Amino acid sequence: MDGFEVVACPRTGQAIQAAEDGVDAFIIDIYLAQGEDGLDLLRAIRSGSTPAPKDCPVIMTSGDERRRGDAETSGANSFLLKPFSPSYLSELLREMLA
């Protein structure tokens, strides 16, 4: 959509595999499938324990505003509260990748 190639990764292992294949940015929900925590994935990216560059742009999403601080302290570049406009997400992602 909007010229982006999207790889859906509901689990941490899938996201790490996508990083090995090469990605330009991550959009991570705080709550992943099967009880996995998106913040753990974000921390792994920032620590350098994934194939993704440590400074790879990361947008965290959640339906719970109270998780904003967790996302920011874990290293997210941006936090989006659901629901959000798809066009706003595209605009934000374009800015981060510019």
- The domains located in the chain, with CATH, are 20-97 (3.40.50.2300)
Which secondary-structure segment (H or E) carries 28?
Answer: strand 26-29
Q: What is the mean pLDDT of residues 12-28?
A: 92
Nearest alpha-carbon partner for 54 in 66, 46, 62:
46
Q: How far is Cα 16 from Cα 37, in angstroms, rounded to an integer?
A: 14
Q: What is the mean pLDDT of residues 38-45?
A: 96
- Confidence at residue 2, expressed as pLDDT on a 0 to 100 scale: 85
Quote the pTM value.
Answer: 0.92
Confidence of residue 42 (pLDDT cuts 50, 70, 90): very high
CB 42 within 8 A of CB 52: no
